[in-house]
């Protein structure tokens, strides 16, 4: 990451079937610092977490995220338990998550600031999939 990155933000997610809720949280996260790293859940982690494979593969999701103006770098999130390692590796100053995770990551506040942002209402990957299925 380059020298303009004085305040580094990190966030995590699956970002499957990319939608407006994803874009909004990423641009809000980016505006809290100078650079944004995104940990994209691996296909295996997603299977363990949600019991189903994502619609888009990890390669596709990484490429979509890396192509966004508000994202400075992406990496694969292999395990929910590795957050401390990722925070240290990417020298993050702020961990941003949606408020569906509120309180779940407070214990990382000894490593960086932890902030939960409100989710965009009425949109989710599941809802988009259902909308397509009923077309």
Contact 35, 4 (CB under 8 A): yes
CA angle 26, 106, 96 (to 5 degrees): 10
Q: In what order do the strands lie in the sheet with 73-77?
A: 73-77, 35-41, 8-13, 94-98, 113-117
What's the closest the beta carbon of residue 42 comes to ligand C2G, in angstroms? 9
Q: Does 27 bind ligand C2G (CB under 6 A)?
A: no
22, 36, 38, 94: which one binds ligand C2G (CB under 6 A): 22
What's the closest the beta carbon of residue 131 comes to ligand C2G, in angstroms? 14
Report the Cα–Cα distance between both ends of the chain, in Å, rounded. 43
Residues 39-68 that bind ligand C2G (CB under 6 A): 41
Please report, as ranges, the residues that interact with ligand C2G according to CB under 6 A.
12-15, 21-22, 25, 41, 77, 80, 97-98, 100, 119-120, 123-124
């Amino acid at each position: 990451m380059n020298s303009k990155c004085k305040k580094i933000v990190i966030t995590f997610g699956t970002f499957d079937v990319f939608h407006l809720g994803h874009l909004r949280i990423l641009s809000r996260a980016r505006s809290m610092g100078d650079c944004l790293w995104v940990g994209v859940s691996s296909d295996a982690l997603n299977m363990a977490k949600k019991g189903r494979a994502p619609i888009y593969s990890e390669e596709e999701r990484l490429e979509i995220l890396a192509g966004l103006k508000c994202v400075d770098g992406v990496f694969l999130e292999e395990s929910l338990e590795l957050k401390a390692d990722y925070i240290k590796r990417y020298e993050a100053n702020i961990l941003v998550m949606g408020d569906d995770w509120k309180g779940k990551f407070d214990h990382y506040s000894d490593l960086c600031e932890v902030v939960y942002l409100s989710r965009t209402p009425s949109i989710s990957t599941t809802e988009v999939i259902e909308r397509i299925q009923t077309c």
